[in-house]
């Protein structure tokens, strides 16, 4: 079973038609993820979404990406990611 997804939305190149859709998309994404239980924004255009609790948020974000005509990628993760944080790396 899939645990979570990594949703990456490609930020449009400045000066293209897609640029006009970027800020409205980010506003919608903020509204969608504000009430999400386990969705984590990893950067300006990247979200880690736990499907057991936030499947609806994932669907809504993908809908908004498509509605705003932006390019995106989805990486499905079968298990909870095991992040290596700089503070835990020992030499």
Give the chain's domains with CATH numbers.
4-88 (3.30.70)
What's this model's pTM, rounded to 2 decimal places? 0.85
| Phi and psi at residue 76, to the nearest 5° | -90, 130
* pLDDT, one tens digit for every residue, the chain (91 residues): 899 999 999 999 888 777 889 999 999 999 999 988 899 999 999 999 999 999 999 999 999 999 999 999 999 999 988 877 776 556 5
Q: Which pLDDT does position 87 carry in this prediction?
A: 67
Structural tokens at position 9:
């939305």
Q: What does the pLDDT read at residue 45? A: 94
- Alpha-carbon distance of 1 to 25, in angstroms, equals 29
Determine the length of the chain. Answer: 91
């Amino acid at each position: 079973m899939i645990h979570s997804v990594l949703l990456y939305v490609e930020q449009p190149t400045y000066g293209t038609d897609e640029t006009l859709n970027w800020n409205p998309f980010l506003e919608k994404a903020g509204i969608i993820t504000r009430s999400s239980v386990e969705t984590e924004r990893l950067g300006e255009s990247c979200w880690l979404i736990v499907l057991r609790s936030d499947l609806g948020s994932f669907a809504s974000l993908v809908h908004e990406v498509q509605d705003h005509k932006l390019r995106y990628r989805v990486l499905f993760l079968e298990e909870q990611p095991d992040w290596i944080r700089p503070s835990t790396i020992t030499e």
